[in-house]
Chain A
Amino acid sequence: MSGGYNEIHPEPTTFWSKYIISFDHKVIAKQFMWYGIFFLGLGGMMALLIRWTLTYPGQPFPIIGNLLFPHSAGVVPPDSYAMLFTMHGTIMIFYAITPLLIGAFGNYCIPLMIGARDMAFPMLNMLSFWFAFLSGIVLVASLLLPLGAAAGGWTSYPTLSTMIGSPGAGQTLWCVAIFLFGVSSTMGAVNYVTTVITLRAPGMGYFDMPLTIWGLWLTAILNAIFVPVLGAGVILLTMDRVMGTTFFLAGASATSGSGDPVLFQHVFWIFGHPEVYILILPAWGIVSDLLSFFSRKPAFGAKSTALAMTAVTILSTLVYGHHMFTTQMSPLLTQSFMTLTMTISIPSAIFFANWLGTIWKGSIRFDSPMLFSLGVVFVFGLGGLTGLHLGTVSTDIYLHDTYFVVGHFHYTMAASVLLGGYAGLYFWFPKMFGRMMNETLAKIHFWGTMIPLNGIFFGMLMIGYGGMHRRIYNPFVYESLQRLIPINTLVTQSAILMGAFQIVFVINLIWSLYKGKKAPNNPWNVGTLEWTIPSPPVHHNYDVIPVVKCGPHELGNPNLKNGRDFQYQTEELVQGPA
């Protein structure tokens, strides 16, 4: 490994070195972006197939059904249904959200917002993308296997995921893909953490970093520590499948001496709970910044927001047991995990209150990044509240493994991260591509996403509360679930609607890339470092490394005299008359 040390690298000249094996963090960010958007589309299609099956069982999926399932006349068969929800979860978490929020925004924002010329280790960065790429190919290839892809859920619990539950190579390739992806994430994490620590522009203390960088940095720390835990889990699972070990096999399925299927659940959630925060922290950071930028006001309690995010990061390592309340753990343990889980509410409430404090009495500009950020405040608030029902042992016993859980994590994770990701994309698109996106289409996209989204996920909360189990194939056959059919239908129709509105986004994206209005250096009038340089930035970002003199949220200062209502981080903080 040898570092970049913030020198100016010569600009690559060939197509190959410029766009494919690129060492430039801005190009790698775009690679991750397209990768993430591709998988977002694929995962989204799978979601529609799942929803269709739940609401119109036995009916062929419109248009592409016959192509995908020729042997069942276009109807999703039960075994494919299991593969669909497994791959949907896996793809959305690892192959859509992670590359978009961490791969794309991490790569794009970290060097630019801290005033660096690139990551600390550009080559490692390039490798990180190509490992992710390889992993994606393995995963997609597993869809084409004769026995199909993995079908044990994104959590891949044994015994479902052992040779007994999932014969065929699908689950094995799933393990391989996840391991490769883990290698990619770890490489990225090493790079991000080192870059933030060593390449901040002169004068930039940790609390002068934008909160976006705080979020990405904390995420990288969690990634470095916990992704290898899942790595160990999938290695052992692969050995069980390929070499005949019995780490996760028990009882009659183990030949002699007993392995432990529940151990996998522990390993999975020791990783898995930090993982959900790995996904949400970048979105929290982005939203914390954008709320301030578009309220034309300093972020309320920015320091305490950063510290609260840090506290959540630390606590998130101690609560994983709340996913396993129903595995017969001792009451002493369930109650300890419950208490620790509730403790997370305190820092969460702090930064949530800070968000509200930031927009309170602001002169809010309802541009699309702001709309999406406000959307995050709403959906994350709802999702967080439902976490309390699940974190409480006595209610979780009933709600566990129902659609209430599915609704909860879609609100906290899917909805919040999706909206946060869109907010970031609309916000940084001008910097990334030098063109503005169309604001009208963006607003249509926002409302077309926000309203159906709540139909989907609130509907899920309700049917879950009404008793519908997750991962079932046909709710119509259970008498107790028949009264939920109308809500199920609402969920599915909302999903189709929301899917349709994503087309608006794709059109806007492609159109703006080529035909969008040319972007000025600083279209949103904010003061963080990336807006001091041209859109798009030159290859080495900064001709002269900037010197930071104030924080990232200096907006609406009454002492500002130059006709602007904000100041750049490179400017001395304006003071009032003494």
Chain B
Amino acid sequence: MKRSELQNNLAMTIALISAAMLFVTLFMGYAVYRSSAEAWPPVGMAHVSLTLPFLSTIFIAVSSWFCFQVKNLVAINDLKRANRNLNLTMLMGVGFMISQSFLWLQLKESGIYVTSGIFASVMYGFTWIHAVHVIGGLLALVYLKIVLRPKTNELLQKTINVERFWHFLGIVWFAMFMGMFVF
């Protein structure tokens, strides 16, 4: 491996470990809240319907797949098709954000407000924190779109870094989906 590749891979790995620790801490908190609660969701609050979270999962999974294609296409230097797949990645990412917004609306309509106690805190708070990261990820995709040109230095390395961050967000969402909505 070239030294520059090694440096990039190492740095990206460490950065992702850092980001993961943030979410690990949130999950640890969640485990404490959930295991010490008498009932989850608390008495008088309905289970959150799975439809929207499921839709979010589909969006982010499909976008991850497109993102994977972007990298493969950049690797064989087919920037035209890479660009098309990048557009689809972003589209699916925006779809994810929209489905999340509907989720927040739905929570509000069913009488669960941000201030309604710990269940609501977790539902809103954690999805917000994740969503802020997704916005960061979308910005990274925009950056990639700007540099997706034959002349860019280390284009593949840059693509790989963005791709890894995007997959990371998908994995975190999947953990949230399973932990907070399914079970």
Contact = CB atoms under 8 A, between A and B. Distances in A.
Interface of A: 1-3, 5-6, 120-121, 186, 189-191, 193-194, 197-198, 224-229, 231-233, 235-236, 239-240, 243-247, 254-260, 263, 266-267, 270
A229 B22 CA distance: 5
Interface in B111-127: 114-121, 124-125
Given A120-B7, A194-B7, A235-B22, 20 more contacts: A1-B11, A2-B154, A121-B11, A190-B14, A190-B18, A198-B7, A227-B18, A228-B18, A229-B21, A236-B29, A236-B125, A239-B121, A239-B125, A244-B115, A247-B29, A255-B117, A257-B37, A257-B42, A259-B121, A267-B25
Contacts of A120: 7, 11
Q: Is the interface of B mostly helix, strand, loop or mixed?
A: helix
A236 B27 CA distance: 12
A403 B160 CA distance: 52
Nearest to B22: A228
A259 B7 contact: no
Closest CB pairs A-B (n = 8)? A257-B117, A245-B121, A232-B25, A244-B115, A256-B117, A228-B21, A3-B7, A228-B22
Given A197-B10, A226-B21, A228-B18, A256 B42 contact: yes
A191 B14 CA distance: 9
Given A2-B157, A198-B6, A257-B42, A228 B117 contact: no
Nearest to B27: A232
A190 B121 contact: no
Interface string B41-55: 010000000000000
Contacts of B98: none
28 contacts: A2-B4, A2-B8, A5-B4, A189-B14, A190-B18, A224-B18, A226-B21, A229-B25, A232-B21, A233-B25, A236-B29, A236-B125, A244-B114, A245-B115, A245-B120, A246-B117, A247-B125, A255-B116, A255-B117, A256-B42, A257-B42, A257-B117, A257-B119, A258-B37, A259-B121, A260-B36, A263-B29, A266-B28
A246 B118 contact: yes
Interface string B110-144: 00001111111100110011000000000000000
A378 B10 CA distance: 39
A198 B3 contact: yes
Nearest to B23: A232
A236 B25 CA distance: 11
A194 B12 CA distance: 10
Interface of B: 3-4, 6-8, 10-12, 14-15, 17-19, 21-26, 28-29, 32-33, 36-37, 42, 114-121, 124-125, 128-129, 153-154, 157-158, 161
Contacts of A240: 121
A118 to B, nearest CB: 12
A257 B42 CA distance: 7
B179 to A, nearest CB: 16
Given A239-B125, A246-B117, A256-B117, A225 B11 contact: no
A256 B119 CA distance: 9
A304 B42 CA distance: 54
A8 to B, nearest CB: 15
A121 B119 CA distance: 42
A189 B13 CA distance: 12
B156 to A, nearest CB: 12
B78 to A, nearest CB: 23
A236 B33 CA distance: 13
Contact of B10 (A193, A256, A260): A193
Contacts of A244: 114-115
B32 A263 contact: yes
A193 B26 CA distance: 25
A2 B3 contact: no
Contacts of B19: 228
B11 A235 contact: no
B10 A194 contact: yes
Contacts of B153: 2
A258 to B, nearest CB: 6
A352 B62 CA distance: 56
Contacts of B17: 224-225
A5 B4 CA distance: 6
Nearest to B5: A3
Contacts of B120: 245, 257
Contacts of B10: 193-194, 197-198
A201 to B, nearest CB: 13
Contacts of A257: 37, 42, 116-120
Given A1-B11, A5-B7, A245-B115, A189 B18 contact: yes
B120 to A, nearest CB: 7
B42 A225 contact: no
A3 B153 CA distance: 11
B114 A243 contact: yes
Nearest to B9: A194
A3 B118 contact: no
Given A120-B7, A257-B118, A193 B25 contact: no
Nearest to B19: A228
Contacts of B115: 244-246, 255
Contacts of B116: 255-257
Nearest to A226: B21
Contacts of B28: 266-267
Contacts of A263: 29, 32-33
A259 B30 CA distance: 10
Contacts of B3: 3, 5-6, 198
A254 B122 CA distance: 14
A1 B23 CA distance: 23
- Max chain A Cβ within 10 angstroms of own Cβ: one of B6, B12, B22, B42: B22
A120 B14 CA distance: 14
A229 B120 CA distance: 22
A256 B29 CA distance: 18
B121 to A, nearest CB: 4
Contacts of B37: 257-258
Contacts of B161: 1
Contacts of A198: 3, 6-7, 10
B125 to A, nearest CB: 5
A266 B10 CA distance: 30
B125 A245 contact: yes
A1 B18 contact: no
A231 B124 contact: no
Nearest to A257: B117
A225 B7 contact: no
Contact of B14 (A194, A226, A233, A256): A194
Given A231-B22, A247-B125, A1 B8 contact: yes
Nearest to A262: B32
A182 to B, nearest CB: 9
Nearest to A233: B25
Given A225-B18, A255-B115, A245 B25 contact: no
